[in-house]
Structure formats: C-alpha cells, structure tokens
Amino acid sequence: MTDLARLVQALPKAELHLHLEGSLEPELMFELARRNGIDIPYDSVEAIRAAYDFSNLQDFLDIYYVGMNVLVTEADFFDLTWAYLTRVHAENVRHVEVFFDPQGHTDRGIAFDTVVAGITHALDRAKAEWGLSSKLILCFLRHLSEEAAFETLEMARPHLDRIDGVGLDSSELGHPPSKFQRVFEAAGALGLKRVAHAGEEGPPAYIHEALDLLKVDRIDHGNRALEDGTLVARLGREQMTLTVCPLSNLRLCGIARLEDHPLKRMLALGLRATVNSDDPAYFGGYVNDNYIRTAEATGLTADEIVELARNSFRGSFLPADEIARHLAEIDAVVETVG
Ligand code: ADE
Ligand code: ZN
C-alpha cells in the first residue's frame, strides 16, 4: 500500500452520495436473477462488466434500470445493502447516507414496504455490529412526473420514522428542479431533509433552482457550478456541501481524464466538497478508490485529503455532537500519521 492509500484507509469517513441500486455487483445481479427466475440480457458476469461502457448519464441509466429488475424480495434488498455496508466498513467508513429509488421498484409491482424493510434491516445490523451509522434518503426519479413523485411521498408516509430525507436523481437534462418544487416543499413540511442532483450534466441554472426552489441542504455533484462565479461565491459563503463523485464523472464522460477532475480546484475555491462513489458497481470503485485515484491523478496533498474526510462529516445529517466526535477521531489519526 502506498502512503496515500494508507492515509485514506486510516481516516474515518462518511459517504454521502451512494445509490444502493448502483452498488449491485454483477455477481450478485446474476445470483438474484437465478434466485428469482428473472431474465437479464447477459449470459456471464464478464458480459455484464463489458456492457458498462457509457458515454453519458442516460447511457448508464438505461442499464442501471434493467439491472435493478433482479431485486424482488426483502431478502434481496437486505443482501444488496449488506454487501455495500460490508464493503465500506472494511474501508473505515463510519457513517453513510444512502439513496434508494423506490419508483424503480414500485413501478414493477414491488411493495414499498418490502424495499424499506430489506434496506433498514441491513442498516440496523451494521449499526448494531459495527457502530456504522446511517441515514436513508428516498430519491424521486426526475424523468417521471410530479404526480408520480407525490404518490411516492404518500407511500413513504408510514415509513417516515426510517426515512431521513428526499433526493432527486435520474435524467437531469430537460428535467429541472423547478418541476419538483411543490413535492420538495411537502417533503420539507414533513420534516425531511432535501438534496438534489444538480450540475452533474445540467447547467448552473439547475443548481440555482435546487437552492432557491427546492431549498436543498446539499447539492449532489455540483460540478458545473464552476462555470458560474456568482454561484461559486454563494456556495462558498453558505458552506453548501457538494457530494462529488470523481470516478462517476470519469465513467459518464463529464471529464475526459481523471487528471482533469475539478476536486482540487473546488477546495482551493473554498467549496465544501466531499468524495463519494455514486454507483460503485458500475463505475469501478468504492469510496476509498475515489479518494486514492483522484489524489494520485490531481496531486491532492495529505492536508487536502484530510479536509475532504472532515467535510464528509460536516456535510452529513448527523447531530452536532456526533460530527464533533468523528472530527476528533480524524484529528487523532492525523496526529499518529503526521
Ligand atoms: N441514479 C443513479 N446514479 C445516478 C447519477 N449519477 N445521476 C443521476 N441519477 C442517478
Ligand atoms: Zn448520484
């Protein structure tokens, strides 16, 4: 292991941008397809991996929605979530705020309860066994209607003791945040946190809308904010957390090479950037790989890596005392490593 990889491994971290359905590894996809008698358009794990060659977000989403069809029973959602948590526990991740896409399941006739029961069973077990804490965020699919989002929020009502926030994902271009202003307002009135993918492929105006109309607590991605100086100044002033996903940006062709990734520039501009994996089974790396590969490609310093880990807790929805405890643990690692 390089010194850099040792530092990343040693640092306690939170992951704030992770789609559970995007952590479905080809091996598990195959096993669940067999277990549930579901046809998938691949005849081997290698064929699945070979299909993961994307030129943009929509290319990926088309395959992502087919992949999740193998998830049927509560046990499937448990296995999916447990595999992710096992993986990041080994990477010294102490807290996760994970997304799920209920409409990707309820539209196939899977009960909302089944999805939430399987996921939360795994989240509870990770907390009990390892002290790994979590928040659960329901994402609305933005290519679907406002009405469908309201129906999903209604389905979530009996589960609000287990759901901490709402998010907005799927095809960004042509589906601006303004389309979901009313449903985000309703979610806020229910006491839910609010986040939205913005500026992944969409223009800076979508980030303005997420802030002004959806009243988000975080921006997911936010890369294209860098095209708008006024927006950068605002994001810095408000210390708005950006959940940046470098390997995702590379694989979806937002950047041509990892060397071109703007993470280091975001930090230099005073933005509260964090590092996350987005859909690790599809993009070739979990959270530590995102730190290590981006650090190697863009020359992040040890101090910058530590700052990114601190930001992951500062930007979380944990209570202040827990954030302080995690930050103190980071300080202790810095003392021993430095
Ligand atoms: N759903 C899963 N991953 C996504 C991403 N990176 N952007 C938008 N929607 C998504
Ligand atoms: Zn995402």
Pocket test for ligand 1, best of 223, 242, 277, 278 (most atoms within 8 A of CB): 278
pLDDT score recorded for residue 35? 97
238-252 pLDDT per residue, tens:
999 999 999 999 999
Pocket test residue of 56, 61, 221, 245 for ligand 1, highest count of atoms within 8 A of CB: 61
- Is 200 known to be catalytic? yes
Model's pTM, two decimal places? 0.98
Q: Which residues contact 47 (CB under 8 A, 6 or more apart)?
A: none
> Catalytic one among 97, 200, 201, 209?
200
What average pLDDT score do residues 88-100 get?
99
161-207 tens-digit pLDDT: 999 999 999 999 999 999 999 999 999 999 999 999 999 999 999 99
Smallest CA-to-CA distance from 176 within 152, 206, 201 is with 206
Q: What tens digit of pLDDT does each residue of 250-260 get?
A: 999 999 999 99
Give the residue numbers spanning the domain of 208. Answer: 3-337
Nearest atom in ligand 1 to the alpha carbon of residue 21 is 2
Number of separate domains in the chain: 1
Q: Are 104 and 68 within 8 A, CB to CB?
A: yes
Looking at residue 338, its pLDDT comes to: 63
Structure confidence by residue, pLDDT tens digits, 17-41: 999 999 999 999 999 999 999 999 9
> What is the rounded distance in angstroms from the CA atom of residue 91 to the CA atom of residue 289?
10
CA distances from 34 to 28, 37, 43, 306 (A): 10, 5, 11, 43
- Tell me how long the chain is: 338
The C-alpha atoms of residue 164 and residue 54 are separated, in whole angstroms, by 32
Any atom of ligand 1 within 6 Å of the Cβ of 318: no
Q: What's phi and psi for 178, nearest 5 deg?
A: -55, -30
Q: Which residue's CA lies nearest to atom 9 of ligand 1? A: 170
CATH number, position 24: 3.20.20.140
